[in-house]
Amino acid sequence: MSYEPCYISPDVDAAIRAAVGIPAHIRIDLHITPEDIPVRGNASAWGEPEDSEHAAAIENRLANGELWAWCVVRVTCTDGTAEGMAYLGGCSYEDTDDFTKYASGYLCDLADEAYDYFQAKVAP
């Protein structure tokens, strides 16, 4: 499975580090890949008819090659020798900026989880 790298702005990077306590020598990366679970039945938490409406819009965006329409987000924390990763599936956002702006809680949670996994790998 191939992941597409996404740019994290310096402001967002700084906010994540401040919220989670990730030191400067740890690189935080954000990547996305197409989601395997079906759009229909998973596009809305409210059920029908919202799911069908959201699914149709997502499917149109996917047909136009918009990867952020329905994807899995991966956050990695690494120092170059060890890494920790965390994932969030069933994501549908306009683009990276939309995800970092409106899903900042998810992004911090993912960074926190990835950093925990990183620390577990480098712990004595």
Confidence of residue 45 (pLDDT cuts 50, 70, 90): low
What is the distance of C-alpha 25 from the center of its chain? 21
Least-confidence region, from 75-79, 80-84, 119-123: 119-123
Mean per-residue pLDDT, 98-109: 86
Q: Tell whether 109 is covered by a domain.
A: yes
Q: Is 51 within the bounds of a domain?
A: no
pLDDT over 90 (residue 117): yes
Domain range for residue 79?
4-37+67-122
| Domain count along the chain | 1
Strands 71-78 and 4-6 come out as unpaired
10-20 and 104-122 helices cross at what angle (nearest 10)? Answer: 60
Is residue 99 within 8 Å of residue 73, measured between CB atoms?
yes
